[in-house]
Amino acid sequence: MDSEAFWNDRVQYYQDNNENMTFPLILTLANMLEIQKSQDLIEVACGSGVFTVHQLQHLTKAKTFTSVDVSQKMIELAKARKEATGGIKKGLDFLQDFFLYLKR
């Protein structure tokens, strides 16, 4: 099984179990790296977009935010999560965020 198939098969499990466990760690790491000062960001392995959407709502200096994942289903979930927030327009409509799907 390749990595795309592996993660595509585990989207619901990841959403139900891993999001809440990993989010505090990811947020702590982001704060340590001071990404809030960055203008151009690339998020590798964005998964279901929990961190992505949180950052898009809180980053004020960012001009671009690119999220990448190997799983098309994770990307679809991340896009849906972003849209469910009203398109992230809370004072951040200058952000040009987009999701990429990379295939080997």
Domain extents in the chain? 3-101
Is 3-101 in CATH node 1.10.274.10?
Answer: no
Q: pLDDT digits over 5-23, tens only?
A: 888 888 888 888 888 899 9
Burial class (CB in 10 A: 0-12, 13-18, 19+), 83: exposed
Average pLDDT over residues 33-37: 91
Measured CA to CA, the distance from residue 51 to residue 22 in angstroms comes to 9
Q: How far apart are CA 24 and CA 92, in angstroms?
A: 23
**What is the arithmetic mean of pLDDT over 23-39?**
91
Q: Mean per-residue pLDDT for 28-37?
A: 92
User: What would the pLDDT profile of 38-89 be if each residue is shown by its tens digit?
Assistant: 888 888 888 888 888 888 888 888 887 888 888 888 888 888 888 887 755 5
